[in-house]
């Protein structure tokens, strides 16, 4: 019986290591032959699918994270300053200002990533970019809907809206963190822990505090992004693969 | 079915853990030891053993450096490793084609 590689079953030596094209086969040839014959027709296809999944998982989105963080942070600080200076304190004005800021931040982040991709002559809408967008989309959309409801109905407390946004944003970062460098997932946890802790502290110990929510938004969406951007700028090795 | 392509499969790459490492490295210029370990949920010892086996075959290059005063081990595919991986994929595709023709 023919076993392949010029070997016949009659000549097969149990436990002998077969040789094929100069490479030592680690399994006895008979075992390999049995494997081949017993192989399901989709075995190789499943193997290829596993390889593809692993390769996709490995392609981590690293493009222009530091510039994006700087940009988003700057928008956050500017929006907070505008809100404080122009006294945009009504729920509608507050919601409108920060929804606009979010829209500008998202659009700007996409443009920065796109420019970087074109500069590196890489496709912008790559699988990692798609996955990051898909991960960010549900929590950000949920936050946007809540914001729109607050603006349209003029629902009471803008302080509550700010915390809800912060928690949603933390969830969005954490979800995206599976497809970007690990620090972003931690950054998401920072948002959730700080915003949640801060909210809990205020509700329990200072329920009557009258802060202006722009300070809160300015710190979380402005200063924290700038700090993380500076950290990335100083620690990243300039990898921009996506 | 002609078993030839199966016999030509590189036994070093064909092992589950090493194939996963090669697949991850094929999609990235380089990955740190920690990134690989976390992504593949392998133990340090297991990953080290597989990487050493791949390194001995000349498929993977390991570089040691420092980042923020911490040792950083990065792995990448060598041109030989990339070629061997491409051949492995080709053989898998050949096997698929054969089973479809059967």
> From CA A174, how far away is CA A170, in angstroms rounded?
6
Domains identified in chain A, total number: 2
Q: Answer yes or no: do A6 and A108 share one domain.
A: no
* A160 and A213 housed in the same domain: yes
DSSP string, A193-240: HHHHHHHHHHHHH-TT----HHHHHIIIIIIHHHHHHHHHHHH-----
| Shared domain check, A6 and A99 | no
The verdict on a CB contact (< 8 Å) between A58 and B23 is yes
In chain A, residues with a C-beta closer than 8 Å to the C-beta of B26 are 55, 58
pLDDT exceeds cutoff 50 at A54? yes
Q: pTM for the whole thing?
A: 0.64
Residues A51 and A122 in one domain: no
Whether A55 and chain B come into contact, CB under 8 Å, resolves to yes
Inter-chain CB pairs, A–B, below 8 Å: 88
Q: What is the pLDDT of residue A141?
A: 94
Out of A41, A57, A73, a domain closes at A57
Closest Cβ–Cβ partner in A33, A44, A57 for B95: A44
A42 shares a domain with A75 = no
Q: What are phi and psi of B76, to 5 degrees?
A: -150, 160
Same domain, A11 and A34: yes
What long-range pairs does B8-13 form, CB within 8 A, spacing at least 24?
B8/A20, B8/A21, B8/B91, B9/B88, B9/B91, B9/B92, B10/A23, B10/B84, B10/B87, B10/B88, B11/A23, B11/A24, B11/A25, B11/A26, B11/A27, B12/B53, B12/B54, B12/B57, B12/B59, B12/B84, B13/B59, B13/B84, B13/B85, B13/B88
* Residue-level pLDDT at A11: 44
Q: Within a domain: residue A240?
A: no
Specify whether A26 is located in the same domain as A136.
no
In a domain, A148, yes or no: yes
- State the pLDDT at residue B2: 60
Same domain, A115 and A208: yes
One domain for residues A106 and A222: yes
Domains of chain B: 4-93 (1.10.10.10)
Domain limits for position A38? 2-57
A241: in domain: no
Q: Residue A31 falls within a domain, yes or no?
A: yes
Residues A220 and A116 in one domain: yes
ipTM over 0.85: no
Sort B37 into a burial class: Cβ within 10 Å, 0-12 / 13-18 / 19+.
middle
DSSP three-state, residue B102: coil
Q: Does residue A28 fall inside a structural domain?
A: yes
Please tell me the predicted confidence (pLDDT) of residue A10. Answer: 38
Residues B53, A205: Cα–Cα separation, whole Å: 59
Looking at per-residue pLDDT, the higher value among A236 and A142 belongs to A142
**A242 is a domain residue:** no
Domain assignment present for residue A46? The answer is yes
Partner B contacted by A30 (CB < 8 A): no
Give the separation between CA A61 and CA A44, rounded to whole angstroms.
29
């Amino acid at each position: 019986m023919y076993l392949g590689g010029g070997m016949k079953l009659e000549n097969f030596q149990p436990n002998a290591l077969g040789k094929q094209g100069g490479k030592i086969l680690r399994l006895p040839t008979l075992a390999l032959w049995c494997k081949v014959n017993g192989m399901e027709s989709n075995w190789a296809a499943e193997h290829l699918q596993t390889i593809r999944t692993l390769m996709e998982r490995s392609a981590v989105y690293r493009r222009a994270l530091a510039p994006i963080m700087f940009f988003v942070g700057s928008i956050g600080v500017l929006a907070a300053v505008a809100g404080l200076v122009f006294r945009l304190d009504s729920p509608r004005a507050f919601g409108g200002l920060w929804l606009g800021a979010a829209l500008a931040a998202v659009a700007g982040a996409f443009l920065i990533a796109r420019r970087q991709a074109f500069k590196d002559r890489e496709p912008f809408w790559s699988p990692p970019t798609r996955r990051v967008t898909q991960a960010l989309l549900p929590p950000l959309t949920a936050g946007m809907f809540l914001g729109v409801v607050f603006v349209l109905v003029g629902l009471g407390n803008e302080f509550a809206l700010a915390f809800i946004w912060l928690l949603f944003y933390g969830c969005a970062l954490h979800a995206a963190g599976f497809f970007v460098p690990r620090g972003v997932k931690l950054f998401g946890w920072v948002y959730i822990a700080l915003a949640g802790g801060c909210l809990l502290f205020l509700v329990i110990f200072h329920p009557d505090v009258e802060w202006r929510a722009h300070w809160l938004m300015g710190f979380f969406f402005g200063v924290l992004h700038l700090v993380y951007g500076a950290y990335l700028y100083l620690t990243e090795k300039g990898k921009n693969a996506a | 079915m002609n078993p030839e392509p199966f016999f030509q499969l590189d036994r070093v790459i064909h092992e589950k853990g090493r194939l996963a490492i090669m697949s991850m490295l094929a999609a990235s210029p380089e990955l740190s030891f920690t990134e690989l370990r976390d992504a593949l949920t392998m133990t340090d010892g297991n990953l080290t053993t597989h990487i050493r086996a791949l390194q001995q075959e000349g498929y993977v290059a390991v570089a040691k450096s420092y980042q923020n005063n911490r040792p950083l081990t990065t792995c990448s595919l060598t041109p030989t490793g990339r070629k061997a991986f491409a051949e492995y994929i080709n053989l898998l595709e050949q096997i698929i084609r054969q089973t479809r023709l059967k």
